Amino acid sequence: MSANNEPNIVAFLCNWCSYAGADLAGTSRVHYPSNVQVIRVMCTGRVNPLYVMNALQQGADGVLVSGCHPGDCHYMEGNYYARRRLGMLKDLMEFVGVDPRRFHMSWVSASEGHKWKEVVEKTVEDAREAGSFEGFRRRQIDW
């Protein structure tokens, strides 16, 4: 968490639905907290569960993965894979003692600019409640 006690959140968004939905929120001038930094991937199926852990290790207090609604994946099945993999990860996180409020998965379509705002607000709020993450920080690697 930064000096002003704001959580730092890394979000992985699929190019076709959630990234476009976040763009729509912008086009519609919907305002939401600035804590979420987006990394664009083509599909949530690309999100290796280790990315989530990696983000937490390297300075994130919360992680969000957002993709197309189940059934709407641009690549047909990618979000199903993501749902299964990341659902399992969430259980594992809880098991190893990471507050599950640090990890969210959501479905935001290209037309849901307002939903994107709600998802961001919820993710930030939960991460804020969970507090700064000090669980297994890694020495900052030189990227």
Positions touching another protein (CB under 8 A) are 1-2, 8, 10, 15-17, 19-20, 22-27, 29-32, 34, 37-43, 45-49, 51, 54-55, 58-61, 71-78, 81-82, 85, 109-112, 140-141, 143
Alpha-carbon gap, residue 79 to 67, rounded angstroms: 7
> 131 is written with which tokens?
């507090």
Q: Which of 107, 124, 123 is nearest to 115 (CA)?
A: 107
Residues 6 or more apart whose CB falls under 8 angstroms from that of 121 comprise 32, 33
Q: How far apart are CA 83 and CA 106, in angstroms?
A: 9
- Partnered with residue 104 across adjacent β-strands are 64
